[in-house]
Chains A and B, each alone.
Chain A
Amino acid sequence: ELKVEQNPLFLSMQEGKNYTIYCNYSTTSDRLYWYRQDPGKSLESLFVLLSNGAVKQEGRLMASLDTKARLSTLHITAAVHDLSATYFCAFTRSNFGNEKLTFGTGTRLTIIP
């Protein structure tokens, strides 16, 4: 069974602090995605990670992938209020990107001024 577990489910942090969201998945993955969702909105693609050891950074967000541990992380550096949102990881499985994205439970991030 394909499973993706994220933790924490809820995260409340102060501005300026650093934190990491973890994403564990149950089987070999071909692609690992991170998305952001604002309330009432659809998904915004943040990162696509394709290989073991991949690291990508955009602004205060950095994502990494360890395929051996079946773990991806989303690290937030010096958080600002604008980063408050729900973050989802998702993965596909196959050489080309499977038919299906399997989503994690989501992490609701609230940045407190």
Chain B
Amino acid sequence: GAVVSQHPSRVICKSGTSVKIECRSLDFQATTMFWYRQFPKQSLMLMATSNEGSKATYEQGVEKDKFLINHASLTLSTLTVTSAHPEDSSFYICSARRDRATEAFFGQGTRLTVV
């Protein structure tokens, strides 16, 4: 399968600071990337869908100004958690796909802890 790399794998930050998570497709060009959030022992919840060169589409209930998504190139999307608070602590996972006919592949995930 295709390789999707997510960085960092773990991050601890102080309340009020911002954290950026990167998602890269290493061996293919990803027209679409997805960002998910997973709380402990729960399923994955889609936060937003980003298409290269356009604004991300956020799911209902996800704050656009808090979770900034940029998909500036066909191999990189970033999720910035702004003014992080302890309730933002979670496991964030990205996935990327080449096109609508192909399967999306998942990154390794990022464990965010806000203290």
Interface residues of A (CB under 8 A from B): 33, 35, 40-43, 45, 48, 88, 94, 96-97, 99-101, 103-106, 108
Contacts and interface: CB of A to CB of B under 8 A. Distances in A.
Nearest to A40: B111
Given A35-B106, A43-B44, 12 more contacts: A40-B111, A42-B108, A48-B103, A96-B100, A96-B101, A97-B103, A99-B57, A100-B34, A101-B34, A101-B95, A103-B43, A104-B43
Interface of B: 1, 6, 32, 34, 41-46, 49, 57, 93, 95, 97, 100-109, 111
A35 to B, nearest CB: 8
Contact of B109 (A42, A101, A108): A42
A33 B102 CA distance: 12
Interface of chain A: mostly helix, strand, loop or mixed: loop
A33 B49 CA distance: 19
A41 B100 contact: no
Given A45-B103, A48-B103, A101 B43 contact: no
A88 B93 CA distance: 15
A15 B11 CA distance: 37
B106 A43 contact: yes
B46 A100 contact: yes
